[in-house]
Amino acid sequence: MIELVQIGKSYDGKTFVVDDVNVRIEKGEFFVLVGPSGCGKSTLLRMIAGLEPITSGSLRINGKEMNDVPPSERNLSMVFQNYALYPHLTVEENITFGLHTKKISKQERKKRCMEAAEMLGLTDYLKHKPRQLSGGQRQRVALARAIVAQTPICLMDEPLSNLDAKLRAKMRFEIRQLQQQLGITMIYVTHDQIEAMTMADRIMVMNGGRVQQIGEPLDVYNHPANIFVASFIGSPAMNMTKADVLEQSLIFNRERIMRLAHRFPLETKNITIGVRPEHIRLANKNDPYFTVKVVNVERLGTETLITFALTKKEHWIARWNGQCSVRVGDEVPVTIDEQHVLFFNEAGERLYMGVGDDYVSFRETKF
């Protein structure tokens, strides 16, 4: 178990690039740190590894304080973004390199290397040099080096960022399978929210050095804590717009109005609402609807992305299954799944209005 208690990092003693991080990572968990570039996730990972000193707070592994323990004594392995392979060594030598310092016998090193190579499909490449390998094979060598160390904790810093899209998808599956097979605790850093959603047991969303939300991927997707999480997690991003409250109505840019089915907190004004693209659909005969003008269509084979004008200044995106025949310029009736509408206050925090009140009924009105 890994515990981070009020962890902070500052390089100048004034500005904190990582601030007040509190989280407990359970044994055998696949935990993903996700956020935009510069949010502090790699710095946090390096502090766990011991490659960066901790400015404030406490890092504990299995209950033991680790703030001042050297990296070599933390009993963990790390896979870097650039793989960190030695170009003059063979694949076999790269895999077993770290075992020399642990005074492990030559026979045991050979055994571990063969087991890892077989697991990752590297048996035929053990005598090759890194320059003779593809990007995916080099990534597997870096993984094999972490495996042979047989540490209970493995840290990964954006290991797939140098691979093409097809290979990334394959390696996501392989890394997740490997982690489950070995039962190790894995802390994985990425800026790619698809990697976070598909690989993690839990994710921690970071922005500006601070934790925004921690939870299971679908829970974070369906119940974002604030506007940043709602807009960062999900592709295409959540549709959002400002709205004013007038009695029991939400008014967008004085162009459209949503009638509220239930009473809205009167003290809450100038709110933001959010709707996922998949929760906007073509209206059926009896549905309340908006008539919108299509401004862009992206047919992806299995789904179609429709961009339409919500107001004169704002565009929203709808995601529909299949290959829709809608064209640019068409005016179509759309409806919104009421129970999936999210509300945020002026500070960007999610509003929770209680069971039965967290949705609205949509009806188009023109001023």
pLDDT of residue 248: 65
**Tens digits of pLDDT across the chain (367 residues):** 999 999 999 999 889 999 999 999 999 999 999 999 999 999 999 999 999 999 999 999 999 999 999 998 999 999 888 888 899 999 999 999 888 777 788 899 899 899 888 888 899 999 999 999 988 888 889 888 888 888 999 999 988 887 788 878 888 888 898 899 889 999 999 998 889 999 999 999 999 999 999 999 999 999 999 999 999 999 899 999 888 777 666 677 666 666 655 555 544 667 888 999 999 988 888 776 778 899 999 999 999 999 998 888 889 999 999 988 899 999 998 888 777 888 888 888 988 754 344 444 444 433 3
pLDDT at site 27: 94
**Nearest-angstrom CA–CA distance, 306 and 309:** 10
Q: How far apart are CA 141 and CA 116, in angstroms?
A: 9
Phi and psi angles of residue 82, each rounded to the nearest 5 degrees, phi first = -95, 10
Angle made by CA atoms 135, 141, 146, in degrees to the nearest 5: 130
Furthest C-alpha separation in the chain: 82
Ordered by start, the domain boundaries in the chain are 2-232, 239-344
Q: What is the pLDDT of residue 204?
A: 97
Tokens read off for 59: 């890092």
**Residues whose CB falls within 8 Å of the CB of residue 310, separated by 6 or more in sequence, listed in order:** 239, 241, 252, 256, 292, 316
- H or E stretch including 46? helix 41-49
Q: What is the pLDDT of residue 366?
A: 37
Show the CA angle centred on residue 213, arms to residues 37 and 342, nearest 5°.
105
Structure pTM? Answer: 0.86
The Cβ of residue 26 has, within 10 Å, a number of other Cβ atoms equal to 11
pLDDT of residue 367: 30
> From CA 26, how far away is CA 43, in angstroms rounded?
21
Distance CA 99, CA 116 (A): 13
Find out if CATH 3.40.50.300 is the number for domain 2-232. yes
Alpha helix stretches (DSSP H) within 149-306 = 165-182, 193-199, 217-222, 227-232
Reading the block at residue 295, the tokens are 């401004």
Q: How many Cβ atoms from other residues are within 10 Å of residue 321's Cβ?
A: 10
Residues 194-219 as b/e (b if ≥16 CB within 10 A, e otherwise) read bbbbebbbbbbbbbebebbbbbebee
The CATH number of 239-344 is 2.40.50.140
